[in-house]
Every structure is written in structure tokens, then in C-alpha cells.
């Protein structure tokens, strides 16, 4: 098996995408600076408008020119309102440019390999009981999630988590996702536009993660309907009563007739408003928390609706939000809900109570909300889900975009196959060393030996994480790769479980038991790293030997790393088990590793040398 230092490969492709990110970063940073300057100018003009408006209008009023002073007030007020609106427009544009500049800066950081500084590690998704997530660094610091995640919404973030932990189990689905990811990889501008739309609320609200809030309450609200507010007679009353009341009020003012009728009607309005008051207030309070978020969701859905896609998976997802039950698209329906929420947001105004009593506004908004829920409430969750799909797929599209030289793996129906040429660990950059792995009809278990720190565990993780990428539909860090559909299981970082009162040894036993049981039922790809460390060498050898033979007999594919050179005898007993090793070399009193995978058992060990380097010098009696 040959090896290669992949950092020297395909520099032209890396430089090309790097130049593109750099140019876009500079472009949007320049735009945001120019927009900030315009905003400062608008701020100064607003102040000048207020000063001149008050001064001139006051002076004209003072000299008795009331008509001209009135028009002066109107003109300066109009100018001020125009400047306020213009400032808000510029703020949105500036925030959008800021977001894009930041996105391209982060892209450069990711390309450089310094992405482990990104804040979102997905640490809360860590699951010690998952078959492979913890051992393969799917979540947490220096993880796959931290590397590729560009989602900005709760739905997108959790959809990416689901994809990473529940890989596709159908070849057709993987192939469709491969095409989708490749198509999105070529849409750099659109992907960054989608991300920037989600990031804008962060800049507007001092980096609060506005869209990371779970929309479950909003979804539950949308599915819960109150038929009372859908009654036709109620709508007639809400529209008719204010007209009658206003007629009585106008008649009383104009003709001087008794005020008893207007008073009775207003009392009736108040009585009507008290009915179901607490439920309405609770509902208004709940949805008001999503008012600003809804606008961003609407913009993201609009971006999805208006883009042209070609792949079957993407067009199917897009068609779902383009064709809601009402015959309109999802973004229009969210826009309508956003407008209703905007009206409700004015309930805190000081004059609202007067208009509410006169026009029964609370009922009007509640009726509008119930009609919206009746027409679109059961579709809202699906819209968020599709939004999440696009965000998660866009995150995965970073891989082929940033690494066009990586291979598109072939997932085959042929059982028991894992072949890769020059496969390397995707989360490593400068020090990545690639090796060949060949497992198929004649070999289904690789026994990896070697000194401490020689690269055994990294090889296991390299195979595992690339297989995860392959089942995601993403490119893999290899020249070529073929693999069967298999369930991935690992046993590498087992530790004491204080919550379950389990020692690391017993926890390891339970994990291996689960792997063996699964191998009896389904195709399995396993990665075992130094198993049974918590027992004596004889029992460790006996146990590891039994596990390897059992998994091999079930046709499972996998890699086992070990310091137990006696396990190498399994190769002579079963041709399906092959020995490979890593080795070290010494130069000027220092230890070095080349991380090249070689056939056969490791010829050397380095534990004693490392002990001496650490200041522990075993004497002859200890060594004997």
C-alpha cells in the first residue's frame, strides 16, 4: 500500500477558490464600508432636518405666517420620514454586505485549516451511545460539524445533525444527494446569499442567534385551531358593530341626540373583548416572539423559490414550497403571517386601547390568524423542514467546492467492499498522509499494528469518517473510493460512565456485544481500537482474538488496531485477515513517524523509548 503527502497536490485548484473567496471578501467589505459612510451622512442629514425644521417652522409661526409654517412642518416631516426609511434600507444592505464579508472570511479560514476556531461545534449533539459519532469526531471541538456547518436556522442545524448521524441506506438516495451537493457546490453566490439572509438578524441584534431558536412553539401554534374565530357570523359582527357604533357617535356629536346609545355600544364592545381575552393575549404573546424571525424565514424561502435547480431532489423540495394548498408559494404565505404579526406588534402603542375598543382590533387579528392557520398551519413544519434540507445540503456542498480534487465515491450493491486509493483524513490539512485500503472478496479484516503515535487510530478514523461522507452523498478525501452499504460501528474512546455506573471495561464489552449482534443481522463496517485495554494481556489477547474471528465469520468488514503482535498469527489461520503496520524511525536521538501503511506486522516498538523521553528510565530488572 502506497502513501502520499496530499498537501502538495492540486495547489492550483486551492489557489483558485482561495482567490475567489478573497476577492468576494474584499468586495463586500468595501461595500459595507461605503454603506456605513452613507448611513453616517443620512444620520447627519436627519439631525440637520430636525434642527432646520424646528427653527424655520417655529420662526414662521412666531412671525404669524401660520399657513407657510404649516407647510414647512409638512415638508420637513416628510423629509425626515424619507431619511428614516432610507437609513433603514441602507442598514439592511450594510448588514447583508457585512454578513457576506464575514462568510468569505470564514471560508478563507476554513480553507487554511484554522476552522477549529469556529464557535459552533455542535457539542450538544454529542451522544456517547451513538454507533460512531463520538469516536469519529462528528461533533465537538475539531469535528466534522464544526468544519462544514454553515446553517443559520434551527431547522438547518438540526437537519445537518440528522444527516451526519443517520446516513442514507439506499444507493439511489445517495446518488441523488451526490448530484444535489455537486449542483449546490457550483452555486457559490446563491449558497452565500442563503447564509447571509440567515446571518442578517445577528448583525441587527448584536449577534443574537435569532434564527437558532426552536420554532416548535410556532409550529404547534400553527397546528392548533380555534373554530370559534372561523365562524361567519362572528366576522359579520366584528365588521358591522364598529360601523353601527361610529354612526351613533357621529350622530350624537352632529345632532346633539342622547349619548346613551354610543355608551351602550362601547360597553358592548368592551364586553365582547373580554370574552376569551386571556387566550388571545397568550397567543399574541407567543407569536410576537417570532415576528422578526419570520421575516428572515420568508426571505430564505424566497431565495429557494426563485433559484433554478436541475437535480430531481432539489426540484422536488422546491416544488413543495412553490405549491402550497392555497395555490401560492410558501414565502407569500409567511409574508401574510408576518404582516398580521406586524399589526399585532402595535398593541403596546398608547392609543391602541382606544382603537381596539372602537374597531375590535384584537378580534380582527385573531380572525386573520385563524384563517391563516386553517389554510396553511399544517404546512409550516414542512416548510421549515425543507428550508433545513437546503441549508444542510449547502453545508455539505462546501466540501466539493473547496476540494474539487476529492473523489466522488461509488456506492455499490456488491456486498463486503471497501476500496480506496490515497485516502486521507478530511479534517487534517498540512500533515495529512494518504494510504491505500483494499478490502473485498478476499479480505474483510485488517489488523493494524505499530508503535505508539504511529498513526493506527488516525487510519481507523480516516476510514470511518470518509465512509460517513460517502453515505452523506459528499466527496471523500481520496483519489478513488468504492464501498458497499454497511452500518458503521466503532469502539475507540470508551470511558467510565458514572451516570450508568459502568467501568470503561464493561462499557467496552457492552459496545462490542452490540457490534457483534448487529453483524449477525446486517452488513457492518467496524473500527476497533486497542480493545480490552482494561484487563490483563492474556485475557486481552483471548478476547480480541474471539471478537475478530466472530466478526470475520459474519462477513463484517473492519479494521482493528492493536499492540498485541501475537494477534498477527490470525493471518496465517485465515486468509481473509491481513496484517498491516506503521513504523517509526530515529534520527539524532529523536523519534519520527512517516505514517505510511505497510504490509505485515510492526517490527519495532517505542514504548520504552517514550518512557525515557518522559523521564522514566526502566532498569534492567524492570525490562527483564
Helix or strand or coil: residue 194? helix
pLDDT of 75-86, one tens digit each? 999 999 999 999
If you ran DSSP here, which 8-state letter would residue 409 be given? P
φ, ψ of residue 422 in degrees (nearest 5): 50, 55
Helix or strand or coil: residue 146? helix
Element (H, E) at 400: helix 398-402
- What pLDDT is recorded for position 156? 96
Between 16 and 616, the higher pLDDT residue: 16
Question: Confidence band (pLDDT; 50, 70, 90) for 201?
Answer: low
Q: Residue 355's CB: how many other CB atoms inside 10 A?
A: 13
φ, ψ of residue 534 in degrees (nearest 5): -85, 25
Range of lowest pLDDT (193-202, 205-214, 547-556, 593-602): 205-214
pLDDT of 471-494, one tens digit each? 999 999 999 999 999 999 999 987
The secondary structure of 352-376, three-state, reads HHHHHHHHCHHHHHHHHHHHHHHHH
Q: Mean pLDDT over residues 94-100, rounded?
A: 94
Q: Which of 26-35, 57-66, 503-512 has the highest mean pLDDT?
A: 26-35
Evaluate if residue 8 carries a pLDDT over 60: no
pLDDT of 268-286, one tens digit each? 999 999 999 999 999 998 8
Q: Regarding the domain delimited by 407-623, which CATH topology (the fold level of the hierarchy) does it fall under?
A: Rossmann fold (3.40.50)
Q: Mean pLDDT over residues 558-566, rounded?
A: 91
Percent of the chain at pLDDT above 70?
Answer: 91
Q: Mean pLDDT over residues 441-448, rounded?
A: 90
Range of lowest pLDDT (82-96, 126-140, 602-616): 602-616
φ, ψ of residue 284 in degrees (nearest 5): -60, -40
Q: Is 575 exposed, middle or buried (0-12, 13-18, 19+ CB in 10 A)?
A: exposed
Range of lowest pLDDT (325-334, 354-363, 514-523): 325-334
Between 477 and 454, the higher pLDDT residue: 477
- What pLDDT is recorded for position 1? 46
Q: Mean pLDDT over residues 118-142, rounded?
A: 95
Q: List the Cα angle 577/581/585 in 5-degree steps.
A: 170
- What is the overall mean pLDDT for the chain? 89
Give CA–CA dist 389/399, Å, rounded: 16
Q: Mean pLDDT over residues 11-29, rounded?
A: 87
Q: Mean pLDDT over residues 319-328, rounded?
A: 87
Evaluate if residue 294 carries a pLDDT over 70: yes
Within a 13 Å sphere around the CA of 405, how many CA atoms are in the beta-carbon half?
17
- What pLDDT is recorded for position 14? 66
- What pLDDT is recorded for position 190? 98
- What pLDDT is recorded for position 189? 97
pTM: 0.89
Evaluate if residue 39 carries a pLDDT over 50: yes
- What pLDDT is recorded for position 607? 54
Give CA–CA dist 485/463, Å, rounded: 14
- What pLDDT is recorded for position 323? 86
What's the alpha-carbon Rg for the chain, to the nearest Å?
A: 33
Torsion sign over Cα 288, 291, 292, 297 = positive
Between 289 and 34, the higher pLDDT residue: 34
Tell me the domain boundaries of the chain. 210-396, 407-623
Beta bridge partners of 490: 527
CB 150 within 8 A of CB 391: yes
- What pLDDT is recorded for position 623? 45
- What pLDDT is recorded for position 71? 93
Q: List the Cα angle 46/47/51 in 5-degree steps.
A: 115
- What pLDDT is recorded for position 610? 52
CB 390 within 8 A of CB 181: no
Helix or strand or coil: residue 153? coil
Amino acid at each position: 500500500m502506497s502513501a502520499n503527502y496530499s498537501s502538495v497536490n492540486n495547489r492550483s485548484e486551492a489557489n483558485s477558490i482561495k482567490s475567489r473567496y478573497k476577492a468576494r471578501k474584499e468586495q463586500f467589505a468595501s461595500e459595507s464600508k461605503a454603506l456605513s459612510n452613507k448611513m453616517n451622512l443620512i444620520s447627519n442629514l436627519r439631525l440637520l432636518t430636525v434642527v432646520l425644521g424646528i427653527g424655520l417652522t417655529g420662526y414662521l409661526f412666531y412671525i404669524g405666517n401660520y399657513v407657510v409654517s404649516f407647510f414647512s412642518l409638512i415638508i420637513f416631516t416628510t423629509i425626515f420620514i424619507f431619511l428614516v426609511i432610507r437609513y433603514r434600507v441602507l442598514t439592511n444592505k450594510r448588514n447583508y454586505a457585512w454578513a457576506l464579508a464575514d462568510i468569505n472570511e470564514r471560508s478563507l479560514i476554513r480553507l487554511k485549516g484554522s476552522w477549529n476556531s469556529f464557535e459552533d461545534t455542535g457539542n450538544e449533539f454529542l451522544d456517547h451511545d451513538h454507533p460512531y459519532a463520538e469516536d469519529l469526531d462528528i461533533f465537538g471541538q475539531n469535528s466534522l460539524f464544526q468544519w462544514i456547518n454553515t446553517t443559520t436556522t434551527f431547522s438547518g442545524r438540526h437537519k445537518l445533525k440528522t444527516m451526519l448521524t443517520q446516513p442514507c441506506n439506499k444507493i439511489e438516495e445517495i446518488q441523488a444527494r451526490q448530484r444535489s451537493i455537486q449542483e449546490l457546490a457550483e452555486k457559490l453566490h446563491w449558497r452565500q446569499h442563503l447564509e447571509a439572509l440567515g446571518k442578517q438578524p445577528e448583525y441587527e441584534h448584536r449577534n443574537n442567534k435569532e434564527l437558532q431558536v426552536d420554532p416548535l412553539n410556532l409550529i404547534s401554534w400553527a397546528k392548533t385551531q380555534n373554530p370559534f374565530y372561523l365562524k361567519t357570523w362572528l366576522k359579520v359582527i366584528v365588521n358591522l358593530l364598529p360601523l353601527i357604533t361610529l354612526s351613533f357617535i357621529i350622530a350624537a356629536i352632529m345632532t346633539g341626540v342622547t349619548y346613551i346609545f354610543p355608551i351602550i355600544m362601547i360597553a358592548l364592545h368592551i364586553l365582547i373583548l373580554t370574552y376569551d381575552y386571556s387566550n388571545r393575549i397568550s397567543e399574541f404573546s407567543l407569536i410576537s416572539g417570532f415576528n422578526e424571525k419570520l421575516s428572515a424565514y420568508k426571505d430564505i424561502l424566497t431565495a429557494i423559490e426563485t433559484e433554478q435547480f436541475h437535480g430531481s431532489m432539489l426540484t422536488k423540495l422546491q416544488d413543495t414550497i412553490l405549491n402550497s394548498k392555497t395555490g401560492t408559494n410558501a414565502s407569500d404565505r409567511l409574508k401574510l403571517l408576518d404582516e398580521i404579526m406586524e399589526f399585532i406588534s402595535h398593541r403596546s402603542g398608547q392609543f391602541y386601547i382606544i382603537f381596539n375598543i372602537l374597531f375590535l382590533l384584537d378580534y380582527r387579528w385573531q380572525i386573520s390568524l385563524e384563517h391563516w392557520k386553517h389554510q396553511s398551519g399544517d404546512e409550516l413544519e414542512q416548510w421549515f423542514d425543507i428550508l433545513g434540507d437546503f441549508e444542510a445540503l449547502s453545508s455539505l456542498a462546501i466540501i466539493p467546492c473547496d476540494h474539487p480534487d476529492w473523489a466522488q465515491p461509488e456506492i455499490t450493491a456488491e456486498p463486503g467492499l471497501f476500496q480506496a486509493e490515497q485516502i486521507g483524513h478530511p479534517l487534517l490539512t498540512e500533515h495529512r498522509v494518504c494510504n491505500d485500503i483494499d478490502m473485498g472478496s478476499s479480505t474483510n479484516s485488517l489488523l493494524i499494528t505499530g508503535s505508539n503515535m504511529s498513526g493506527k487510530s488516525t487510519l481507523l478514523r480516516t476510514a470511518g469518517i470518509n465512509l460517513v461522507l460517502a453515505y452523506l452523498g459528499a466527496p471523500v478525501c481520496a483519489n478513488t473510493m468504492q464501498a458497499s452499504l454497511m452500518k458503521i460501528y466503532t469502539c475507540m474512546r470508551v470511558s467510565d460512565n458514572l451516570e450508568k455506573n459502568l467501568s470503561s471495561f464493561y462499557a467496552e464489552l457492552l459496545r462490542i456485544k452490540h457490534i457483534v449482534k448487529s453483524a449477525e443481522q446486517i452488513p457492518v463496517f467496524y473500527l476497533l481500537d486497542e480493545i480490552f485495554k482494561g484487563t490483563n494481556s492474556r485475557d486481552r489477547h483471548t478476547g480480541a482474538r474471539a471478537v475478530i474471528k466472530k466478526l470475520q465469520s459474519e462477513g463484517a468488514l473492519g479494521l482493528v488496531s492493536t499492540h498485541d503482535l501475537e494477534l498477527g498469527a490470525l493471518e496465517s489461520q485465515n486468509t481473509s485477515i491481513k496484517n498491516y503496520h506503521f513504523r517509526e524511525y530515529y534520527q539524532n536521538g529523536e523519534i519520527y513517524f512517516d505514517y505510511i501503511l505497510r504490509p505485515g506486522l510492526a517490527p519495532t516498538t517505542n514504548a520504552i523509548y517514550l518512557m525515557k523521553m518522559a523521564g522514566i528510565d526502566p532498569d534492567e530488572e524492570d525490562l527483564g
